[in-house]
Structure 1
Amino acid sequence: MKLQVAIDRVDMLQARSIVAQVADAADVVEIGTSLTKEYGLRALTRLTEDYGGQVALLADIKTCDEGRYEFDLGYDCGFAYLTVMGSASMGTLEACAASAAAHRGTMMIDLLECDDARIERIGGFVDAVYCLHTSVDSGATADPIGQVRAFRERFPQIRRIAVAGGIKPDQLAGLAAEGVEIAIMGSAITKADDIAAAARRCKDLTV
């Protein structure tokens, strides 16, 4: 299972410092929505130029429209993963998928607030990673392992799954056992006294 470390609500200097500290342990480093909104993708290219050769970088742009434009821009700025909201139109999702294929990047579909009917409708993007996501405002996921197990039973056609929302280190082994592709962790790593050590400990728990 891959470990994704999410960086949010910090300034650019702090973001650079955190990327440097986690790059050796993380499989993916997420430049969170707050950073993409505050600085913009072109300004964040300095991170992809400096660290893109060490670790895959994800821009959590949460695309809702203008899918081809936003995804082409994100990949051109050096990001390997980009996010689109599952609530976006099928036209937007298809445009994002086409851009991902053209750039050999990965599309992550954020399922925040998507009901079962919606997930069933958009579940055919075989190359996409589908992210089970509990929002910050809603609090941590109470039982992410059970959530993943139930999701797989309802949507067996969806093979690539990520999970986010207050994931704790002691949940990582169980998530890996459920076949989760990416576990996304934020403050459990980025707020630790020793960020690099926390990232290494969490990575050790994913295998």
Structure 2
Amino acid sequence: MKLQIALDTCNQKEALAILHDVADFIDVIEVGTPMIIEYGMEPVRAISKEFPNKLVLADTKIMDAGEYEADIAFKAGAQIVTVMGITHDETIKGAVKAAKNGNGKILADMMCVQNLEERAKELVELGVDYICVHTAFDVQDKQSPFDSLSKVQNMVGSQHSAIAGGINIHSVDKVIPFKPEIMIVGNGITGQDDRRKTAKMIKQLLV
């Protein structure tokens, strides 16, 4: 399992400081949607340059202009770009085309997808690499991603699965039995007093 850190509500300087603390235990660095909205692709460029041996994910959450927008992120240095699973197939196909041209991968965020299993299968058939079961920040006190992860894995396999949404050191044990390809942690690392220790503990649990 790969451990992905989500960097959402920080600026570039803060993000780099966090990464220098925890990078030894991180496989994928996510430049989160809030950071992209505020600072554009500059953090993607800077982080890709500073950490060339890490996978960098741009959480663009693409809904339209799939090839055009994904291409921007790949050219900035991202190796993984996100699209929304509920968007049009044509948008997905465009993002997948950009990924192939940029030697990258596509992760589909399944927020708000109702026909989870059917859509996961369709997305993988369209060329999406990862299906991410994601409990949105605004509803993390009401929803759990684990039932949805089980459904996705039964349909497309663990190698195509990712999980995000409120995961921390106390809930990692619920993720481990599923063995998704990517486990995404945000505040569960970035918001902790000892980020390095927490990242190390989580990574050791995944091995």
Please say whether Structure 1 and Structure 2 have the same fold, judged by a TM-score greater than 0.5: yes
Partner of 2:24: 24
Partner of 2:123: 122
Partner of 1:96: 95
Q: Judge which range, 7-16 or 117-126, deviates more.
A: 117-126
Counterpart secondary structure, 2:99: helix
Is the 8 Å Cα contact of residues 62 and 110 (structure 1) preserved in structure 2? yes
The 3 A distance-change label for structure 1 pair 26 and 159 is closer
The 3 A distance-change label for structure 1 pair 100 and 166 is same
Amino acid at match of 1:151: V
Is the 8 Å Cα contact of residues 164 and 184 (structure 2) preserved in structure 1? yes
TM-fit CA distance, 1:118:
4.1
1:15-73 residue CA offsets vs partner (Å, 9 max, x unmatched): 1111222211111011100000100114541221111x131111101111111111111
Partner of 2:63: 64
Q: Deviating runs (4+, > 3 A) in structure 1?
A: 117-123, 140-147, 156-159
Is the 8 Å Cα contact of residues 128 and 160 (structure 1) preserved in structure 2? yes
Is the 8 Å Cα contact of residues 67 and 95 (structure 2) preserved in structure 1? yes
Partner of 2:34: 34
Counterpart secondary structure, 1:47: helix
TM-fit CA distance, 1:123:
4.2
Identity among equivalent pairs (%): 29
Counterpart secondary structure, 2:206: coil
Amino acid at match of 1:73: I
Counterpart secondary structure, 2:138: coil
Structure of higher RCO (CA pairs closer than 8 Å, 6+ residues apart): 1
TM-fit CA distance, 1:98:
1.1
Distance 1:206 1:158 in 2: 14
TM-fit CA distance, 1:170:
3.8
Amino acid at match of 2:164: A
Question: Would you say how many aligned residue pairs link Structure 1 and Structure 2?
Answer: 205
Is the 8 Å Cα contact of residues 80 and 106 (structure 1) preserved in structure 2? yes
Is the 8 Å Cα contact of residues 24 and 55 (structure 1) preserved in structure 2? no
The 3 A distance-change label for structure 1 pair 23 and 157 is closer
Is the 8 Å Cα contact of residues 144 and 175 (structure 1) preserved in structure 2? no
Is the 8 Å Cα contact of residues 111 and 133 (structure 2) preserved in structure 1? yes
TM-fit CA distance, 1:195:
1.0
Amino acid at match of 1:62: K
Counterpart secondary structure, 2:125: coil
Q: RMSD over aligned Cα, in angstroms?
A: 2.0
TM-fit CA distance, 1:121:
4.0
Distance 1:60 1:44 in 2: 10
TM-fit CA distance, 1:167:
1.2
Partner of 1:106: 105
TM-fit CA distance, 1:184:
0.5
Q: Structure 1 residue 201 and structure 2 residue 201: aligned?
A: yes
Distance 2:10 2:64 in 1: 26
5+ residue gaps, structure 2, are: none
Counterpart secondary structure, 2:25: coil
Partner of 1:47: 47
1:52-111 residue CA offsets vs partner (Å, 9 max, x unmatched): x13111110111111111111111111111100111111110011111112111100001
The 3 A distance-change label for structure 1 pair 46 and 151 is closer
Amino acid at match of 1:59: A
Query: Whose helix fraction is larger, Structure 1's or Structure 2's?
Result: 2
Distance 1:60 1:35 in 2: 9
